[in-house]
Amino acid sequence: MEDYVQGGLLPATLPSSFRPMPPSSPDDVIPDHCADAAAEPAVDVRDLVKEFSTTAGTLVAVNGVSMQVYPGEVYGLLGANGAGKTTTLRMMLGLQRPTSGTVRIAGFDVAVQPIEVKRRVSLVSSSSGLYQWLTPREIMLYLADLYGVPDEEAAARAEMLADLFDLRGFMDRRCAGMSTGQQQRVNLARSLMHDPPVVLMDEPTRGLDIVGSRRIFEYTAHLRQQGKAVIFCTHRLDEAQRLCCRFGLMFRGQLKLEGTLADLQQRTGREHLTDMFLDLMPAESSMAARLTVLQGRGDP
Ligand code: ATP
């Protein structure tokens, strides 16, 4: 993977607790268990099911998922397109009602105390939009206000996040006209204004260049050091292998494999997540298998 740590890309005014990730090397995998094992889970999902009614019948998007994520842990929720990751995150956020099962965030049940849950969780997503006619500062302060963050604290936090995500050059310019990377950085900063203990990241590096991606990795490592529980969804398995303490591999709505990298290596006999992942795919989904079927049918 690219060497994205050296070179002083982070601003000088970072919080004192911020420590950039060390340079990448073959042995440079996050420790097997970086969470506080004695702590209560910050995210506690039990037997989660989500069914959708479609014209073709009932689609089971999430099928009995249970998982726990602890403070100080980055959990990689991985899966192919349509595996059910986003639906799972939406249920954790209280944006979608589960068909059955429970989600507790920082001890609060999403179905019973949705407001308490929303105070304690944030979503960082590449697909979230920004109010184009507002400036990053206005958006950040507006969101802080919605979350009830005191004005002084919000102003200080906006400054800190502006430094962290290099927003200084455009903090007071309208978002319309900003590049994808700039908008993504504002998106990330605004989602952290209320300093939640649980951060859900859905493809946070999509559309970002190498510097933007590096910033996300460094900040994710910083969140972990601060004791946050982070769920990181990505298709980039190299990113995941580097960043995450534990992994859950989803396939067709089910969590098929879960554990630290060492656990998974031992259980599957595979070294890399990519190979474990491909092993989960049914043979009929490979291109070679499809070609064989087409040829067997006499198609060109
Ligand atoms: P991707 O990596 O492509 O974002 P994902 O793992 O996040 O995929 P989901 O978006 O959770 O997958 O979708 C899981 C399944 O549920 C898919 O088959 C999707 O088409 C279906 N689905 C999601 N939302 C709805 C909905 N509102 N109505 C019907 N089907 C839905």
Ligand 1 center from residue 61 Cα (angstroms)? 6
When pLDDT is averaged across residues 285-295 and rounded to a whole number, the result is 54
Label residues 40-77 b or e (16+ Cβ within 10 Å = b).
Answer: ebbbbbeebbbbeeeeeeeeebbbebebbbbbbbbbbb
Q: Does residue 10 belong to any structural domain of this protein?
A: no
pLDDT over 50 at 259, yes or no:
yes
Question: Can you give the residue range of the structural domain that contains 148?
Answer: 125-195
* Cβ neighbours for 61, distance < 8 A, ≥ 6 positions apart: 50, 51, 52, 84, 87, 253
The pLDDT mean for the chain works out to 82
| Residue 30's pLDDT band (cuts 50, 70, 90) | very low
Q: Which atom of ligand 1 is nearest to the CA of 52?
A: 29
Nearest to 159 by CA among 144, 181, 175: 144
Separation of alpha carbons 91 and 104, rounded Å = 10
pLDDT over 60 at 51, yes or no:
yes
Whose alpha carbon is nearest atom 2 of ligand 1?
81
Six-digit token pair at 235? Answer: 């298709």
Check if the beta carbon of residue 165 is closer than 8 Å to that of residue 192: no
Count of CB atoms situated within 10 Å of the CB of 6: 10
pLDDT at 291: 54
pLDDT over 90 at 84, yes or no:
yes
pLDDT over 90 at 10, yes or no:
no
Six-digit token pair at 50? Answer: 């989500």
Q: Which residue has the higher pLDDT, 144 or 12?
A: 144
Q: Which residue has the higher pLDDT, 131 or 151?
A: 151
User: Which three-class secondary structure state does DSSP give residue 238?
Assistant: helix
Q: Does residue 62 belong to any structural domain of this protein?
A: no
| Residue 285's pLDDT band (cuts 50, 70, 90) | low
Q: Quick one: what percent of the chain has pLDDT higher than 70?
A: 80
pLDDT at 295: 55
Q: Does residue 153 belong to any structural domain of this protein?
A: yes
Q: Which of 77, 86, 205 to mutate to test the pocket of ligand 1 (most atoms within 8 A of CB)?
A: 86
Separation of alpha carbons 88 and 98, rounded Å = 9
Check if the beta carbon of residue 43 is closer than 8 Å to that of residue 67: yes
pLDDT at 37: 61
Q: Which atom of ligand 1 is nearest to the CA of 87?
A: 11
93-111: per-residue pLDDT in tens?
999 999 999 999 999 999 9
| Residue 253's pLDDT band (cuts 50, 70, 90) | very high
Q: Does residue 186 belong to any structural domain of this protein?
A: yes
Whose alpha carbon is nearest atom 30 of ligand 1?
52
- Which of 66-75, 96-105, 127-136, 170-179 has the least mean pLDDT? 127-136
Q: Does residue 239 belong to any structural domain of this protein?
A: no
pLDDT at 191: 87
pLDDT at 34: 62
Domain count, the chain: 1
Ligand 1 center from residue 62 Cα (angstroms)? 9
Count of CB atoms situated within 10 Å of the CB of 95: 13
| Residue 31's pLDDT band (cuts 50, 70, 90) | very low
Own/partner contacts of 274-280, CB < 8 Å, gap of 24 or more, are 274/237, 276/249, 277/78, 277/80, 277/237, 277/249, 280/249, 280/251, 280/256
Ligand 1 center from residue 81 Cα (angstroms)? 8
Ligand 1 pocket residues where CB is under 6 Å: 52, 54, 59, 61, 79, 81-87
Q: Does residue 66 belong to any structural domain of this protein?
A: no
Q: Does residue 13 belong to any structural domain of this protein?
A: no
Q: Does residue 175 belong to any structural domain of this protein?
A: yes
| Residue 36's pLDDT band (cuts 50, 70, 90) | low
Q: Which residue has the higher pLDDT, 33 or 109?
A: 109
173-221: per-residue pLDDT in tens?
999 988 888 888 898 889 889 989 999 998 888 877 888 788 788 888 8
pLDDT at 2: 34
Three-state SS across 52-94? EEECCEEEEEEEEEEEEECCCEEEEEEECCCCCHHHHHHHHHC
Check if the beta carbon of residue 204 is closer than 8 Å to that of residue 236: no
pLDDT over 50 at 26, yes or no:
no
Separation of alpha carbons 105 and 43, rounded Å = 5
User: Which three-class secondary structure state does DSSP give residue 240?
Assistant: helix
Check if the beta carbon of residue 119 is closer than 8 Å to that of residue 193: no
Separation of alpha carbons 187 and 281, rounded Å = 33
